[in-house]
């Protein structure tokens, strides 16, 4: 019997990625033709064909623009989770701005989807050791788990010395968190890191995104099979809808490295993703948790001080929500 792995989709459009934020700030997003709805629909259709389910980390801006997409994700049996509102990296936000961002997004998604949002993933995996206070805010907002840590060395993200498999977080003090020992549940918050494999003394990222596009599919399959068969654990795979869209406009005004990372092998992603769905079994991240633990969070919907109508209208200049 195949091990069940965890599929995650970061629902954002091509112009919303962090590498393009200086070219396409949020104030310009309404001027740009969107491709995210069609690309996400394509993923939903592919998953239906193989009866696979996943977790969709939806950007609040996308949800507000395409509410039908949120309802369709839920209606097809997938998990609805938050990717923040404006794809702003945690490292670029004040704590107060982050609080507004995650609570506004969570409230909007729950209102549209009619389900509790249990999970969060930071844009560009940007929770770092300098922003551990983000966990205090996620816990207070009612999230059950986070999936923002990439245990690798990278120029934009990563906590390289943290575990490469899911773990409970322990709160040592305000703004100070660490991986818990064993099954310790003191912090009441769970971290689901992006999957890496230990080779040549270091963690190598393999399961998704640009790494999935960069490596030949045979490499991805071999590593993921190793994780399942040798390490006997599931892996967490991630993908963006724009990665199935080789016809997306090419962006000027960014570095060659950013252009390469964004466009490498876009024309091969669809075929590779179809093979991945045939070779492995996938379920949503919420399946990590016992039903009683998930049910205990169903009533944690909207934190005090965040009415359903309080969604930021612009990325800058909006009055912060007053929290009680």
Residue 281: exposure state from Cβ atoms within 10 A (0-12, 13-18, ≥19): middle
Domain annotation for the chain: domains and CATH numbers: 4-296 (3.20.20.370)
How many angstroms separate the first and last alpha carbons of the chain? 50
Lowest mean pLDDT among 42-56, 111-125, 147-161, 168-182: 147-161
Q: Kindly report, residue by residue over 60-87, the tens digit of the pLDDT.
A: 999 999 999 999 999 999 999 999 999 9
- In angstroms, the CA 210 to CA 238 distance is 10
Q: pLDDT band at residue 151, thresholds of 50, 70 and 90?
A: confident
Angle at 200 between CA 197 and CA 202, to 5 degrees: 55
pTM score over 0.85: yes
Paired sense of beta strands 202-205 and 119-120, if any: unpaired
- pLDDT band with cut points at 50, 70 and 90 for residue 182: low
Residue 188 is predicted with a pLDDT of 79
């Amino acid at each position: 019997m195949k091990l069940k792995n965890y599929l995650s989709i970061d629902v954002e459009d091509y112009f919303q990625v962090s590498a393009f934020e200086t070219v396409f700030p949020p104030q310009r997003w309404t001027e740009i033709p969107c491709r995210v709805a069609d690309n996400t629909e394509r993923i939903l259709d592919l998953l239906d064909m193989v009866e696979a389910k996943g977790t969709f980390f939806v950007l609040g801006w996308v949800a507000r623009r395409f509410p039908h997409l949120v309802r369709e994700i839920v209606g097809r049996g997938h998990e609805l989770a938050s990717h923040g509102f404006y794809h702003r990296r945690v490292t670029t936000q004040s704590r107060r701005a982050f609080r507004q961002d995650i609570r506004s997004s969570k409230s909007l998604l729950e209102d549209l989807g009619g389900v509790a949002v249990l999970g969060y993933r930071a844009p560009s995996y940007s929770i770092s050791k300098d922003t551990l206070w983000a966990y205090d805010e996620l816990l207070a907002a009612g999230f059950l788990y986070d999936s923002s840590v990439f245990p690798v060395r990278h120029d934009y993200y990563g906590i390289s010395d943290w575990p490469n498999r899911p773990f409970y977080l322990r709160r040592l003090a305000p703004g100070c968190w660490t991986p818990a020992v064993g099954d310790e549940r003191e912090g009441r918050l769970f971290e689901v890191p992006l999957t890496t494999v230990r080779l040549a003394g270091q963690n190598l990222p393999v399961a998704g995104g640009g790494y999935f596009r960069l490596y030949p599919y045979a490499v991805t399959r071999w590593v993921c099979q190793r994780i399942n068969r040798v390490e006997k654990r599931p892996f967490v795979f991630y993908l963006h809808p724009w990665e199935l869209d080789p016809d997306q406009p090419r962006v000027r005004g960014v570095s060659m490295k950013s252009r390469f990372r964004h466009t490498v092998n876009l024309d091969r992603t669809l075929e590779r993703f179809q093979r991945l769905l045939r070779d492995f079994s996938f379920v949503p991240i919420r399946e990590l948790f016992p039903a009683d633990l998930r049910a205990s969070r169903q009533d944690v919907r909207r934190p005090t001080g965040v009415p359903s109508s309080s969604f930021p209208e612009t990325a800058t200049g909006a009055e912060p929500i007053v929290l009680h």
